[in-house]
Amino acid sequence: MTATVESTVSAPRRGTGRPAAGLAPALAGTVTVGLGGAAGLLGVLGISGHGGGVRLGWLLPLAGVDFAVSATAGLFMLLVGLVAVAAGVYSIGYFRTSGASTITLAVAPVFTAAMLGVLAAGSVVTLLVCWEMMALASLVGVLSDHHRPAALDAGRWYAGMTQLGFVAILVGLVVLSASGGSGDMVLLGRHAGRLTPTARNAVFALTALGFGSKAGLVPLHVWLPRAHPEAPGPVSALMSAAMVAVGIYGLVRVDVQILGPGPRWWAVAVLGFGALSAVYGVLQASVSTDLKRLLAYSTTENMGVVAVGVGAGMLLIDYHRPGAAAVAIAAALVHTVAHAVFKALLFLSAGAAVAATGIRDLDRLGGLAVRMPATTILFAVGALGASGLPLGAGFVSEWLLLQALIHTEPGSGTLLAVVMPVAVGVVALSTGLGVAAMVKAFGVGFLARPRSPEAAEAREASPSMVAGMSFAAAACGVAAVAPVVLSAALDKVLGETPGVGLSAAPSLGVVLRLPGLAGSVSPAVLAAAVVSVTLAVVVLAGRAGARRRPAAVTAPLWTCGAGPLSERMEYTATSFAQPLQQVFDVVLRPEVDVEVSHAGGSEYLVERVRFRSRVDDTVELRLYRPILAAVSRWAGWVRRAHPGSVHLYIGYGAIGVTVVLVVAR
């Protein structure tokens, strides 16, 4: 009996054009690291209030380029800097072993610089220009392996979505700066009150749409699970850890700080789409069998959780609860930072596993723990962070978010009483299923025995890759036990947010405390307690009864007498997720297909059973396909008017001129 599970196998990566040799990867990596370091420095300057303005009038005709780093931008620059340093160090070894063209090598530094430009932008024009550069650079990264149809497809989706998002942001920000009378980001914040309510709502809707699509919020996420996996390891880390955070930056800076506080529906919309993204993203991640696609869906989930925090903060500001609002916004920011470090680590280590095996399909991975121990441990650190468990990088922010939701006292209003429990349910469901997804990625992908010859021949990643990942892992560790490093930045960002009590910023010392609210937790003490007690138990259990105990041995697995086990008998990612897939089949709508062929014409003798299971993106199927079909029908109609006849075109010209003359008369 055969059970075939449909899978995508990626061939060893071949870059565009001439492969770069020798020092080129080292040079590109060093530039990225340098940019990351500079970003960190600028970020610290911005947070400490010294992010003053620089104007380069000559660089861009008419508008000029303005840079000014606010505290909010400073925090995000720090984040991008961290990711860039990790990805830069990693990229040296990655591109040396897997080979890449000069263009692909140039992507990481240019992309990093563009993201920093977006964050540092002091005017609307600068922001838009850098935004477009960021989009193009990442598009080139996605297409670096453009010989593969999947990469081309991903590139098309990404280009379409990112340009639509850009148009939305462009129109929104242009309307904003036109009505505000200035293109300067700081002045805009003061003048935003001049906008008519309709214009404000329109600007909010357009910018939220654009920034939300960059952050990968449902239903604008479709590009994300295609594009992020196709990019080379370091670039996908930059995209999934840093670029989505830039989307969140836009949401916070423009929609909360400059435009806000706005009407109540803004908050509900942000929270609602965040909740939808969190649940949908985590559901898809928990049934996904492609390692990098799983991580991409997890990005959608985490950005959804961040948006829930931002939305809850906006709602609490509206209800004049500055204390709880401060906690909610702080939770969103801490989660963005934590997500950046653990997702960078996850994408880098997943990239190392893919580079070593050429396989992204979890059903064919496994056994890497023995063959790539460093990569496995580092992936585990990232996965622990992503699952939001204590000791992990994601715990602090999940805790803060739940605290903000819990501290909405009864009697605050019907809307709060309905929205907050649902938000708690969403966060809880995404935590639970997020754990399932990460357990699957780590347990099936890295533990047990290899499920394919490629996985069996995997070799440990090169030292620079391990160094890059270790840097990200160290950042995860700091985020997990010492979130206090973010304290100063959070205070400043909350100070820049209208409607939030500055005094109410959560204190993130050894014990996390919420001023004015009862509730405390200490991740550092918990981690120390769990680790030390674990060691104590190991020692005590080793000692107890040791006199009577025969010497320990290594023995074959217990196979119920039917051994030896082959890798075909192991649980795969598909089988691991099968119960969840069945429980949620209403939402996921999996396509399951069982094909039985019989031997010798007898229906009792089975020769071969083929099983195919496939989970497509429901949103894409139900929402995008009809729209795309309609657009292409329309395009077909329009094309009929273009038969290629010169005479007809001259006729069109004549009609056009006549119409203009008639109208202008």
Partner 1 sequence: MAGLTGRIRRLGRIAEPAPPAPGPLQDASEVGRGSLQLRHVDAGSCNGCEVEISGCFSPVYDAERYGARLVASPRHADGVLVSGVVTRNMASALVDAVNAVPAPRVVIAVGDCACDGGVFSEAYGVVGPAGAVIGVDVAVPGCPPEPAQIIDALRKLTRR
Partner 2 sequence: MNPGGILGAAAQTAAVGLGAPGLVGGMRQVRARMEGRAGPGVAQPYRDLRKLLGKQSITPEGTTVVFAAAPAVIAAATLVIAATIPLATTASPLDGAADLLAVVGLLLIGTVSLVLAGLDTGTPFGGMGASRETTIAALVEPTVLLAVFALSIPAGSSNLAVIVADTLRRPSDVLSPAGALAFAAIVVVIIAETGRLPVDNPATHLELTMVHEAMVLEYSGPKLAVIEWGAAMRLTVLLGLLVNLFAPWGVAGRHAGLVGVAAGLAAVAVKVAVAAAALAAGEVYLAKIRLFRVPELLAGSFLLGLLAVTASYFLASPQA
Residues forming contacts to partner 1 in the complex (CB under 8 A) are 548, 550, 555, 558-563
- Does position 565 bind partner 2 by CB under 8 A? yes
Q: In what order do the strands lie in the sheet containing 517-521?
A: 507-508, 512-514, 517-521
The token duo for 66 is 């303005």
Minimum CB–partner distance for residue 548 and partner 2 (Å) = 4
Rounded to whole angstroms, how far apart are CA atoms 239 and 340?
10
Which entry of partner 1, partner 2, none binds 538, CB below 5 to 8 A by partner kind?
partner 2
Rounded to whole angstroms, how far apart are CA atoms 68 and 88?
25
Minimum CB–partner distance for residue 523 and partner 2 (Å) = 8
φ and ψ of 594, to 5 deg: -115, 130
Minimum CB–partner distance for residue 556 and partner 1 (Å) = 8
Minimum CB–partner distance for residue 580 and partner 2 (Å) = 5
Comparison of 551 and 663: residue with beta carbon closer to partner 1: 551
- Does position 287 bind partner 2 by CB under 8 A? no
Minimum CB–partner distance for residue 35 and partner 1 (Å) = 54
Beta bridge partners of 65: 56
Rounded to whole angstroms, how far apart are CA atoms 60 and 126?
9
Which of 12, 49, 181, 542 touches partner 2 (CB under 8 A)? 542
Minimum CB–partner distance for residue 536 and partner 2 (Å) = 7
Comparison of 186 and 536: residue with beta carbon closer to partner 2: 536
Query: Rounded to an integer, what is the distance from CA 247 to the centroid of its chain?
Result: 10
Rounded to whole angstroms, how far apart are CA atoms 381 and 470?
10
Query: How open is the CA angle 393-397-403, to the nearest 5 degrees?
Result: 145
- Does position 561 bind partner 2 by CB under 8 A? no
DSSP letters spanning 333-368: HHHHHHHHHHHHHHHHHHHHHHHHHSB-BGGG---H
Beta strands 54-56 and 65-67 are antiparallel
Q: How far apart are the first and last CA of the chain?
A: 81
**Stretch of 92-100, 293-301, 330-338, 446-454 lying at the interface with partner 2 (CB under 8 A):** 446-454
- Residue 153 backbone zone (phi > 0: left; psi -120 to 50: alpha; other: beta): alpha
Comparison of 61 and 411: residue with beta carbon closer to partner 2: 411
What is the x/- site pattern for partner 2, positions 392-431, by CB under 8 A?
---x--xx--xx-xxx-xxx-----xx-xx--xx-xxx-x
The token duo for 493 is 């960002």
Which entry of partner 1, partner 2, none binds 436, CB below 5 to 8 A by partner kind?
partner 2
Query: How open is the CA angle 433-434-438, to the nearest 5 degrees?
Result: 120
Which of 9, 583, 628, 660 touches partner 2 (CB under 8 A)? 583
Residues 367-396 within binding reach of partner 2 (CB under 8 A)? 367, 369-370, 387-391, 395
Which of 205, 526, 619, 623 touches partner 2 (CB under 8 A)? 526
Which of 143, 435, 466, 476 touches partner 2 (CB under 8 A)? 435
Minimum CB–partner distance for residue 367 and partner 1 (Å) = 22
Total residues binding partner 2 (CB under 8 A): 90
Comparison of 555 and 662: residue with beta carbon closer to partner 1: 555
Which entry of partner 1, partner 2, none binds 646, CB below 5 to 8 A by partner kind?
none
Residues 109-138 within binding reach of partner 2 (CB under 8 A)? none
Contact between 398 and 318 (Cβ < 8 Å): no
Minimum CB–partner distance for residue 520 and partner 2 (Å) = 5
- Does position 661 bind partner 2 by CB under 8 A? no
Rounded to whole angstroms, how far apart are CA atoms 33 and 242?
14
Rounded to whole angstroms, how far apart are CA atoms 500 and 65?
31
Rounded to whole angstroms, how far apart are CA atoms 267 and 579?
35
Which entry of partner 1, partner 2, none binds 561, CB below 5 to 8 A by partner kind?
partner 1
Minimum CB–partner distance for residue 542 and partner 1 (Å) = 15
Comparison of 410 and 550: residue with beta carbon closer to partner 1: 550
Which entry of partner 1, partner 2, none binds 402, CB below 5 to 8 A by partner kind?
partner 2
Comparison of 557 and 663: residue with beta carbon closer to partner 1: 557
Q: How many residues does the chain have?
A: 665
Contact between 402 and 424 (Cβ < 8 Å): yes
| Torsion sign across C-alpha atoms 324, 273, 130, 147 | positive
Which of 22, 149, 198, 558 touches partner 2 (CB under 8 A)? 558
Which entry of partner 2, partner 1, none binds 424, CB below 5 to 8 A by partner kind?
partner 2
DSSP letter, residue 562: S
DSSP letter, residue 70: -
